[in-house]
Amino acid sequence: MQQLFKFVMKKLLFVVLAALLLAHPGKSAAQVQRPRLVVGLVVDQMRWDYLYYYYDQYRTDGLRRLLDQGYSFQNTLINYLPAVTAVGHSSIYTGSVPAFTGIVSNNFYINGRPTYCVSDSTVTPVGTTADEGRMSPRNLLATGIGDMLKMATDGRSKVIGISLKDRAAILPAGFAADGAYWWGKKAGHFVTSTYYRNDLPEWVKRVNREVQVKSGTNVFTSVAGVTKTFQLADAAIDNEQLGQDSVTDLLAISVSSTDAIGHTYGTRGTENHDVYMELDRQVAAFLKTLDEKVGRGNYLVFLSADHGASHNPNLLKQRRIPAGGLEMWNWVKPVEQKLEARFGFAPVILNVSNNVVFLNHAGAAKAGKSISDIKAEVISNLLDNEHVIAAVDYEHVLTTTLPQPVREMVVNGYCRGRSGDIYFVPKAGWEDVSNAADYRGTTHATWNPYDTHIPFVLYGWHVKHGESTEETHITDIAPTICAMLHIQMPGCCVGKARY
């Protein structure tokens, strides 16, 4: 009788398991191990050395917690040009380069049409009536981490992007995101577009009542911008229940005030110090929130930056280091006059931005002039500038004598129909800023390490403390995160998993 009972029970167990498998095809009791939440923290214009320049002043529970307990890739470099915000954010999350993402700068041309990287006239502003809400990821040509996570979980993961800058919220969130929220300068609070939803969630409205400022108030160049960004991030954790079930979510946060303050006041001084101290305080508070709401060890954080920045040229000159301001806006006017006289149409140069020259192809065609001849003339004039060491035609860069590492960065940054025509390389220490003696600020775009050496730190779920000096690229971040999550890397990814 006992043997018969065991036989019947085994048969019954088999029937139950078979029924479960039929009810849930492709699923079993075993599950892929993933963190409940992935947090991407991109600090705009954070030079790699800021990890250590302010190290002794950071809190042990803030940025130092990430460094002291996480894993740092100490030699992470940007591998394309130019090194600017939109390109950096898109490359971090797609694992790709501008040649494939189509995001070649913050502003560029699509077949001759001036285009802001995330502008979209087909959507309607939400939370504002101004064009600052007409934004979406539609100009992006590559999928990102969030899109891959959505596909891996059949859409059950939540993906949200938050930043003061529209491009820094939208491009990291990707196409399939549940939401992206950015600061509307005219609105004086966070906004979105109908690409994501038709009305702001109630929790965003509540935060907006707390953070609201008078229209036109510049929160970007104050530490308040950091605080407001994390206020919205905290609210997202609570109200979207991010990381609070078994399905992995993604929260992409980008801190923009660090960039605006760096541009205005430079890489040293009280203003830069204060914004990094506020960032440190906010990171500490946010990690505590994650510990309480998601659970320590249940979330994965990666810290990085979209680009670095040069030191102010006046500061460098004070220390007898060669530097100066290119002031390309002063170069353009006389050169344009020469070009118009020779080629008989105007304008010949549409724009010079981030060391890229955009030429008027339509004007050249209408005037019956060779664009190759125009390029040659512009390059000749660029090389007359004593602070420009090289200038190359994008379409022929592989046959130039430009050093291989820089040549590869220029090639990676070129997307036909969107990029300009000529890339020029200034001397180290020369950025396109003012040469005035009272100039305090800075900028970024060049191949040099001060613009392209960025942090990449992993912390949390399955991360052991350590560091590596192996050369790593910004494009390695996305495949590394995807490998840790056991999901497919994005569709245009060219990077490699490093952890």
Catalytic residues: 85
Nearest-angstrom CA–CA distance, 446 and 87: 13
Quick one: how far is CA 145 from the chain centroid? Answer: 13
Nearest-angstrom CA–CA distance, 314 and 192: 40
CA angle 181, 184, 185 (to 5 degrees): 150
Nearest-angstrom CA–CA distance, 410 and 390: 12
DSSP structure class, residue 471 = -
> 380: closest CA among 390, 370, 371?
390
Residues 6+ apart with CB under 8 A from 32: 486
- Reading the block at residue 183, the tokens are 């600061």
Nearest-angstrom CA–CA distance, 422 and 370: 15
**Helix axes of 85-94 and 166-173: crossing angle, nearest 10 degrees:** 20
Provide the 3-class DSSP secondary structure of residue 198. coil
The DSSP string of 251-294 is: EEEEE-HHHHHHHHH-SSSHHHHHHHHHHHHHHHHHHHHHIIII
Q: What are phi and psi of 498, to 5 degrees?
A: -115, 0
Q: Beta strand pairing status for 71-73 and 456-460?
A: antiparallel
Provide the 3-class DSSP secondary structure of residue 302. strand
Question: Is residue 426 within 8 Å of residue 446, measured between CB atoms?
Answer: yes
> 60: closest CA among 289, 283, 325, 384?
283
Residue 313: in which H helix or E strand, if any?
Answer: helix 313-318
Nearest-angstrom CA–CA distance, 338 and 331: 12
Residues 6+ apart with CB under 8 A from 233: 162, 251, 253, 286
Largest CA distance in the chain: 107
